[in-house]
Amino acid sequence: MDEGWIKLYRKFINGPIFQSRDYYLIQLSLYCLLTANWKDKDVVLGNEVIKLKRGQFISGRKQLVRDLTNCKKENSKNFKKYESLYRRKLLTLEKLSFLTIKSTNKYSIVTIYNYERYQQNDQQMTNNRPTDDQQMTTTKNIKKIKKINNKETLWKEFEELKRKKDKTDWETRRYMALNEKLSFVDKSN
């Protein structure tokens, strides 16, 4: 569970979940993305084998509370409060078409809508490789040009600060930082 990564698109910030400014809703949506299986998988639960698809995971309200809060005692007042809260937030995510929930009396299977679309696997990424490589080469060339221009700008700023007699504290710190940075840049080139 602690390995790997997910893609999180910047447009998430303009979507209804983030715009709600609801900490628990945002937390739960990110938890769902991070918990979802990245490949099809068989899970054994008791005597039952459950086939989970990519973008699905098994959960329950109590598990959510244990994973997302510091509450561990199921009999506590806070635990029950969070259990109710996360149940409502899951239903909200379902209403927002972020996920679906298929519940049994033992567990729930949560499926994230459009998981395939947003979490492309490596094979799909390989198909785009030639185009991406060409774009990357162009981007690298642009970055080199910007780096050269940036280096020249830094040298100009460094020389101006070097000539200045009465430097403020900030200017002195900036001069020292530029001196260190430019001496490193010279050594690496």
Cα separation, 74 vs 64, whole angstroms: 12
Which pLDDT tens digit goes with each residue over 11-22?
888 989 999 999
What are the phi and psi torsion angles at 165 (to 5°)?
-80, -60
Token digits for 99? 């996920």
**Residue 7 exposed, middle or buried by CB count within 10 Å (0-12, 13-18, 19+):** exposed
- Residues 63 and 70: their CA atoms lie apart, in Å, by 12
Which whole number is the average pLDDT over 36-59?
92
**pLDDT at residue 185 in the model:** 55
The CA-based angle 109-97-68, given to 5 degrees, is 55
Q: Is the CB of residue 86 less than 8 Å from the CB of residue 64?
A: yes
Q: Count the Cβ atoms, other than its own, within 10 Å of residue 171.
A: 13
Residue 179 pLDDT: 78
- Domain assignments of the chain as residue spans, ordered by start: 10-122, 128-188
| 8 Å CB contact between 56 and 110 | yes
| pLDDT band, residue 159 (cuts 50/70/90) | confident
